[in-house]
Structure 1
Amino acid sequence: MTVSHDYDPGPQIAHAGSINLGTKNLDRSLWFFRDLLGMEVTAQADGVAYLRGYQELTHHSLVLTQQSEAAVNSYSFRVQRKQDVELFQKQLDREEIESIELAAGHETGRGEAIRFLLPGGEHPIELYYDIDKPIAEESLRSKLPSNSSRRRGFGVRRLDHLNVQCSPGTVNQAEGWLRESLGFKRREFAMIPDHPSTVMASWLSVTPQVHDIAIGINPLEQNGQFHHVAFNIENYADVLRIADEVRDLDIEYGAGPGKHGVGQAMYLYLHDPGSGHRVELYSGGYLIFDPDFEEIEWKLPELQYGQTWYGDLLDVGPQGTFLTTTPSAGLKP
């Protein structure tokens, strides 16, 4: 078989890189993510803090920005190659999607990026490649070279996935664009039972995970909505310990612990006390290695098991507290 060395797969997404959360109370949010969850602050200045988990070698996966509104400023994905930033920008131009160039250093430690609104969803997405890999200060260093710092607090390892919502009238466009233009693969999904041609929720990935991003409908028919960001925790016992200890703290307890049917991971939902944004602590789950993996559709009556395999049933009705969201910023950073 002859192998062509000229083959170019085109621009590709590598993984979910970071999220920029606007918070009304930066000190309170730092207490939650740094002191309680154990994330390392790699830089902080002028009301902005950059954090990472103890198994993340790059500069940050979380940005906390002091501001008047608790909104998500950006959802960032790292691309596979440096040239993919420019290639994706050219692709956006061909699709007549407005984008903005962000200079290196727009986020501390990160190189140049592009920013645009997700078609149909209106979520501000940023694509980048270059990012620093700082060494932790000596007091935080681990003897394990695969760890960026020692495990501390509740032990957040890394950013796991993002979960967003948009209106029922645009969700098909947004979910389809993520697959067709950014290359995400649909792994598991559910359609609205009464409207079987409309996506209710879809779990998509470019990595072996079941989802690097999930997208679903917003019950209030709002676009640009943020449901949660998930951080990976090493094991189930850690999640149970966190659930036990959080009861003694002034933190809004969301849902869990329990196990999802979709993805098969254990979950615990909390709310950052500084901003109110929902945060999922996520452990376990299955990985996908088969190149011919067939997407899984959840239908009634088994659909209830998709949200909760065991644990308290999540309140996902029209007025359900589990479906409350926070807004996203616009195109201009």
Structure 2
Amino acid sequence: MLPVSNPHPQFSITRASHVVLGVTDLERSRDFYRDVVGLVVTEETDTTIYLRGLEEAAHHSLVLERSAAAHAHRIGLRVRSDEDIHAAERHFAAAGIEHRRVERDHQGPTLQFRDPVGTLMEFTSSMDVVDRKMQNYDEYRAGFPQRLDHYQVVTYDVQTATEFWTGLGMRISEYTATDGSDELWGSWMEVKGNTHDLVFTNGRGPRLHHFAYAVPDGSSLLHAADVAGAMGFGDEIDRGPGRHGISNALFLYLRDPDQHRVELFNTHYQFIDLETPPIRWDISNARRAQLWGMPASNRWFFEASEFPGEAVQDPLLTATPQTLETYLGLH
């Protein structure tokens, strides 16, 4: 059965907020996200670099932490107020969800937890405020990323993940399912009024597939691809440019020096009105993945960033997607 959003959750999640990555070469990763992607460096220490999009007033949306191994350390979401942090603590304690309060630089009250499928998350209610750069056009670089928009997580159990997050108030905007049923292969969920803040897709997980920044227009994607090629990262264009059926987004995916995946995208739509039903896609419908353009490669489908200490499990549903390699083999 397709999960239904809880209209009255005990606390209010407002948006995708920030992602924390472990990187093995801090300076090289900084240069990639600053010069190839186009993010703004907010602050640097010997162990941590904070970056943000051009229109963001929050101190950071990407945190790079010097690490021995390349892992996705945490996915961050904002809640509305400090009281929502307290309410989340009470809810998780009653539900038996692993959680702990932590101190995070430049963040207000922060609660870290593990969802039922092993995704390592944190909520925060506030951040230090910095100047927006959206009108500093002389400082625009690469893809001109404006703001963090969403995450996609690979999970072994899409149904369980979706039930948990819709129970916390997220709404399904689109989903993929076995033809003729509601057996979930992927769910696109939102709280901020566009198509997604958090996505779960079927596969070996839990792993972070990608995090995504909104860019001003389609030409920004092409410019980012040109910059990546000029700076020696052309082979790290993982997919695109192209247009997804799901979310209607133009997209470009890149891999950083540790092979974490970042998406630049444009043009998804509003999903605000409560009476609007989610869009359903049969798993057999290839247009869900791309309205035009070639299928994704093996590495786009099967590679992703692991969470530290979380065992990766095989998916409950199994199928072989059509990859670029199999597509070319058939034509």
TM range (shorter): 0.7 to 0.9
Residues 123 and 329 in structure 1, CA contact (< 8 A), matched pair in contact too = no
The 5-angstrom pairing of residues 1-333 of structure 1 reads: 10-103=10-103, 106=104, 108-119=105-116, 121-135=117-131, 144=135, 150-167=139-156, 170-180=157-167, 182-193=168-179, 196=181, 198-218=183-203, 222-251=204-233, 252-273=236-257, 275-299=258-282, 301=284, 303-315=285-297, 321-330=300-309
Cα distance in 1, alignment partners of residues 214 and 176 from structure 2? 24
Q: Which AA in structure 2 matches 1:272?
A: D
Give unpaired runs (5+ residues) of structure 2: 1-7, 311-331
TM-score (structure 2 length as normaliser): 0.85
Cα distance in 2, alignment partners of residues 148 and 126 from structure 1? 33
Cα distance in 1, alignment partners of residues 232 and 208 from structure 2? 23
Aligned Cα RMSD in Å? 2.2
Query: Which whole-Å deviations, capped at 9, do the CAs of 1:25-69 have from their partners, x for residues lacking one?
Result: 111111111122221221211311011111000100000011011
Cα distance in 2, alignment partners of residues 89 and 300 from structure 1? 37
Cα distance in 2, alignment partners of residues 241 and 98 from structure 1? 43
Calculate percent identity across the aligned residue pairs: 28
Residues 57 and 130 in structure 2, CA contact (< 8 A), matched pair in contact too = yes
C-alpha deviation, 1:97, in angstroms: 1.1
Cα distance in 1, alignment partners of residues 9 and 188 from structure 2? 23
Q: Which AA in structure 1 matches 2:173?
A: R
Structure with greater helix share of residues: 2
Q: Which AA in structure 2 matches 1:101?
A: R
Query: Which whole-Å deviations, capped at 9, do the CAs of 1:73-119 have from their partners, x for residues lacking one?
Result: 1001000122000101100011011211112xx2x211121111111
Distance 1:148 1:84, change over 3 A: farther
Query: Which whole-Å deviations, capped at 9, do the CAs of 1:232-289 have from their partners, x for residues lacking one?
Result: 111011112222332233221201000001000100011012x110111111111123
Kindly tell me the number of residue pairs found equivalent between the two proteins: 301
Deviation beyond 6 Å, 4+ runs, structure 1: none
C-alpha deviation, 1:292, in angstroms: 0.6
Cα distance in 1, alignment partners of residues 179 and 122 from structure 2? 33
Query: Which whole-Å deviations, capped at 9, do the CAs of 1:135-178 have from their partners, x for residues lacking one?
Result: 37xxxx66x4xx799533431111011000111xx321111101
Q: Which AA in structure 2 matches 1:126?
A: E
Distance 1:10 1:150, change over 3 A: farther
> Secondary structure, in 3 states, of the residue corresponding to 1:156?
coil
Give unpaired runs (5+ residues) of structure 1: 1-7
Cα distance in 2, alignment partners of residues 148 and 70 from structure 1? 33
Cα distance in 2, alignment partners of residues 75 and 236 from structure 1? 27
Query: Which whole-Å deviations, capped at 9, do the CAs of 1:187-231 have from their partners, x for residues lacking one?
Result: 10012459x45321110000111011110111xxx3321100111
- Provide the residue aligned with 1:3 in structure 2: none
Q: Which AA in structure 1 matches 2:289?
A: Q
Residues 173 and 196 in structure 2, CA contact (< 8 A), matched pair in contact too = yes
Q: Which AA in structure 1 matches 2:192?
A: T
